[in-house]
Each structure stands twice: as structure tokens, then as C-alpha cells.
Amino acid sequence: MTARPQHNGSEAEWTDWRWQMRHRVSTVEALERYVRPTDAERAAIEVTAAVFRWTITPYYASLMDPVDPACPIRQHVVPQAAEVAPDIVGVADPLDEVGHSPVKNLVHNYPDKVAFCVTSECAVYCRYCLRKRMVGDADFMMRKDELREGLAYLRAHPEVRDVLLTGGDPLVFSDANLDWLLGELRSIPHVEVIRLGSRLPVVNPMRVTDGLCEVLARHHPVWLNTHFNHPKELTPEARAACERLADAGVPVGNQSVLLAGINDDADTMRALCEGLVTMRVRPYYLYQAQLIGGTAHLRTPIETGMGILRALRGHTSGFAVPAYVLDTPDGKVPLTRDYVLGRAGDHVVMETTRGTVWAEPNPLPAGYEPPVRLPEIAMPPKARTVPTGAPRFVYAEPA
């Protein structure tokens, strides 16, 4: 059992997921109950306030090292000054999700599947979040009539067989609301698979109650992908949550993000993946971090991830090795030599599964020795990319 600060509620309160949500850390004073904030962290909290909210469940805060600001848990959720440093990109929506949304918060970028962002609320706000543009923003919350509009779109599109409920985090819904939504989806004959994307098993595992599992089991097949990034997150509480889901017949996968200084070495990634499979969680994807403005300090060279996968393959169980992928506006691209064509200066060039060519801005740091060397190529004239240029600050619009 993870240690609980004595001043933070009774045992019954601490193990109540709603209490965890109501008592999230969002001020320096609350943070001081768990760690000794550095002067740099205090300054970063102030300077990033207008950029991106921060909030941490008491449970997840209790996992932070109280004195080490380099603690991987702290780096996930405590603001850092680097978030407002100049970056080579300033995009807020690198996957053009808005352009692929025929109705509010429903992203239809693949012919047979959609991502339905059913809420903008999360239990914590990860500093590298793909959807910084929307999470925590009341304008992106979904009223019931807006959820019904999304459901009507799905009913009118029989080619959609796979629906991912994401956000925000769909498990912040009550059991009753989630039961209603799953029931509506299950009433659509052509929807074969329902998936949920949730970080609550990691940051608020108390949410995975017997009642929730009963709701999910009523609407099978239901799959759930969660988001562990570091072995320190593999606590007894998280294990119990994942095992309850598995016992309810919910296959659980994991989608990690490769993050500089957190999990960008083979030993850490092996420990994470091998720990996950002991919890009956299948390592599914390892994502290259997205080009969200203000996250340069967390992004790694693509060669780093390719080297990690090379170190894992053949040196652990095959089902403990995730697929290393980059999400692009033309879908996910496996970062293997089958798809990666080479390096054109500061860009890694790849063919997408749709036959288009994508050039990902991914400069190599000075003095970096890549574990995998990509061939140097000329930039293909037909390559699409994200605009870069003079450094600009987070959320600056591309020139």
C-alpha cells in the first residue's frame, strides 16, 4: 500500500476516488504537503499559469520524491519553466484533430474508427499532453445534447466499427453516466468494439471499483488502454485496479510516451514493460512525444526510441515489447526501417501507412551519438510537415 500523508483524510476518504478528485493539488501550499518545491518550481507554477492548468491527485502526489525535483513523477505533473522557453514549433493541434472533427470533439481520421473526446476533464494534467488546447477548458466540456449529436453522427456512419472514448478522461464520468453512454454505443449495430483511453488506473486507481467493473462488463466487448510511463507508477493500488479490470473481462493495454529524462533508456523501459505484464497489462504503444509547443525539454530524438526497441527485442518476452509509433495527421506510423526513410537534416522522413510522406521536425542535440544511424537523404518535395523556423513560444500560431 502506498504511504498516505497522515493529514490527508481518513483511510476511507483516501480510498474514495471522488475524494481524490475533490482534493486535487493545484496550489503551491497544497503541493508543500508532499514535496519541498524548489524556487524554480515555484517560479514555473506562476509563469505557466496562463498557458496550461496543473492539478494532481493526492494519491499521485504521494508518489513524488519529496526532495528531488528530477523525480519522474514530479516531472510529469509539476510545471517547469522550460514550458515557456522558445521552441522550434508553436502548434496546439499537431494532428489537426479539429480539422478531422465533423461534430464537436469527435475525431474521424480513420475510415473505420473514431476518437470521441467525451469530456475535457482529467484527474491530472500531464505537462506533455497532446490535447493541451482543450483539457481543463470549459468550452470543450460536453453537454448531453452534444454527446447525443456525436452519437447521431455514429449512427449515420455505418463504416465506423471501432469507437474510442477519450478526452480528457472518460472515467471521470459517474458510473451512471458511463453506463448510459456505453449503452447508447452498444445499441448501434455497426459499432463492434468500444475502447476507453484512461489514465485513472495510474493516477487515481481508486476509480476502478467493483461498480465500475460491473458497468463495463455489461457492454462487452470493451477494451481499455491506460498510460503508465515509469516503473515508479506500478504501485500495489495500480496493480489491483488493472487486475480488477482484467477479472471483469476488460483487456488492458498500455500506451507510454517516450519522455527525455524520464523513461528514455532501455533499462527503465524494460522494467516498465516487464512490470506491466505481471499486472496483466499488455504494452501496446510507445509514442514519440508530440510536437506540442513548449515540450522541447521532454522530446527525444527518434533514434533514441529506435535504439530502445532494438535493445528490448529478443531480450524480453515478445508480448512485453510495445510498438514504437509516431502519430501524424495521416495516422500512426511505425517507427521502423520499413517506414522510416531517413534523416533530412533536422527532420526524420517517413512513409505513412496511407502512402503519403511525413517529415517530423526532430533535431539532434549537439554532441548526441545516436544508437541507430539513419541514412541522410534529401527532403522529398512531396513531404508534409509542421512549420518550423525562428524559435517561438508555446501556442504561437505558425507563420
CA distance 64 to 49: 21
Residue 41 has pLDDT above 80, yes or no: yes
CA distance 285 to 335: 11
Q: Where are the alpha helices (DSSP H) in the chain?
A: 11-14, 17-22, 28-31, 39-47, 58-61, 72-77, 144-155, 175-186, 200-203, 210-217, 236-247, 266-278, 302-312
342 half-sphere exposure, CB direction, 13 A CA radius: 8
Give me the pLDDT at residue 389, please: 64
Which tens digits make up the pLDDT trace of 210-245? 999 999 999 999 999 999 999 999 999 999 999 999
Which tens digits make up the pLDDT trace of 63-99? 999 999 999 999 999 999 888 888 877 666 666 666 7
Residues 6+ apart with CB under 8 A from 304: 258, 264, 370, 371
Which tens digits make up the pLDDT trace of 275-317? 999 999 999 999 999 988 788 899 999 999 999 999 999 999 9
Give me the pLDDT at residue 93, please: 62
Which tens digits make up the pLDDT trace of 1-15? 666 665 577 999 999
